[in-house]
């Protein structure tokens, strides 16, 4: 199967061999900017522009939203990315509040959050082999204009990439992060 998000707030599911349209999923509040299948291929996760939720769909029962995972995105125009860690158990997502949220994909339950930046965390990517993740943060800011200024001035403050180390606590499969960036 192939999934394609669109700015009309829908996600289309196609057969890969002949590109036949199988389903159209409705429910995102903003234009769909990211789609990602679960490791077993039974679930699809979608996120949208200015949409505070990553939606989990059971693509075996396409009309069913399994759960929604919150992230702070309501007042930013940025695409806020999410990622599923390599074992397929956890999803991490950033937000405009500078937090990274970690969710258990088996239950849809929030597990933990940590302050990854003082600015919008717009990207998160888990390392494919090591218990690490990278986050990106920041956004464009335009200086105030008055009548004497002719050019827009663009400043890029607090834009950064951070690397985080994760580990599983003894007897607990929940991801925790080490302080470090």
pLDDT interval class at 39 (50, 70, 90): very high
What are the residue ranges spanned by the domains of the chain?
2-140
Residue 149 has pLDDT above 70, yes or no: no
For 76-134, the pLDDT digits (tens) are 888 999 999 999 999 999 999 999 999 999 999 999 999 999 889 999 999 999 999 99
Q: CA 90 to CA 100: how far, in whole Å? A: 12
Out of 3.40.50.450, 3.40.50.460, 3.40.50.970, 2.130.10.10, the CATH code matching 2-140 is 2.130.10.10
pLDDT interval class at 154 (50, 70, 90): very low
Q: CA 124 to CA 6: how far, in whole Å? A: 21
Residues 6+ apart with CB under 8 A from 122: 78, 79, 80, 81, 94, 136, 137, 138, 139
Residue 149 C-beta-side C-alpha neighbours within 13 Å: 9
Residue pair 113/102 in contact by the 8 Å Cβ criterion: yes
Residue 155 has pLDDT above 50, yes or no: no
pLDDT interval class at 157 (50, 70, 90): low
Beta bridge mates, 161:
136
Say what the pLDDT of residue 146 is: 54
Mean pLDDT of 33-42: 96
pLDDT interval class at 8 (50, 70, 90): very high
Q: CA 95 to CA 120: how far, in whole Å? A: 6
Say what the pLDDT of residue 73 is: 86
């Amino acid at each position: 199967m192939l999934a394609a998000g669109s700015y009309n707030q829908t996600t289309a599911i196609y057969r890969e061999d002949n590109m036949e349209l199988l389903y159209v999923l409705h429910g995102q509040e903003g234009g769909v900017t990211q789609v990602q299948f679960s490791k077993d291929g039974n679930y699809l996760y979608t996120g949208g522009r200015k949409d505070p939720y990553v939606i989990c769909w059971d693509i075996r029962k396409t009309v069913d939203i399994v759960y929604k995972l919150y992230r702070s995105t309501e007042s930013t125009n940025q695409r806020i990315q999410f990622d599923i860690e390599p074992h397929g158990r956890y999803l991490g997502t950033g937000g405009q509040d500078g937090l990274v949220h970690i969710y258990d994909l088996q239950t849809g339950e929030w597990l933990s959050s940590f302050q990854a930046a003082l600015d919008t965390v717009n990207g998160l990517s888990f390392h494919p082999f090591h218990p690490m993740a990278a986050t990106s943060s920041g956004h464009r800011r335009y200086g105030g204009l008055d009548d004497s200024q002719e050019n827009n001035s663009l400043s890029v403050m607090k834009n950064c990439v951070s690397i985080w180390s994760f580990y599983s606590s003894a007897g607990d499969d929940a991801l925790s992060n080490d302080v470090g960036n």
